Amino acid sequence: MRKRPRVNGGFFAALGINLIFDLEWTIPAWLLLAAHFIFKISIWWFVGALVVWVIGVAIKTAVFSWLIHVGNIPDPPKENKNPYSSTGYKPNK
């Protein structure tokens, strides 16, 4: 099976998973949808609440993915001090 390159470092996959995990934050939007049908308020309140929720989850995902990339700074190479190693150990420097 051919490996496909990850687009944007997997941001959209992480965003989709975070949207699924944060579904309970859509409760205000669903209440606004119920208010639309009961009290005849504008449907745009429901749409606006969902858009704010998606933008909030996207910002959270972007911040966490940035923090992961910042934390993955490689260490500089170190001197090999293993006496049983075939390379790198020089006992009489």
pLDDT digits (tens, 9 = 90+) for 17-48: 999 999 999 999 999 999 999 999 999 999 99
Report how far residue 36's alpha carbon sits from residue 27's, in angstroms, rounded to the nearest whole number: 14
Report which secondary-structure segment, H or E, holds 29. helix 27-39
pLDDT digits (tens, 9 = 90+) for 47-62: 999 999 999 999 999 9
Contact 36, 42 (CB under 8 A): yes
What are the phi and psi torsion angles at 35 (to 5°)? Answer: -65, -30
65 pLDDT above the threshold of 60:
yes
- Its pTM stands at 0.70
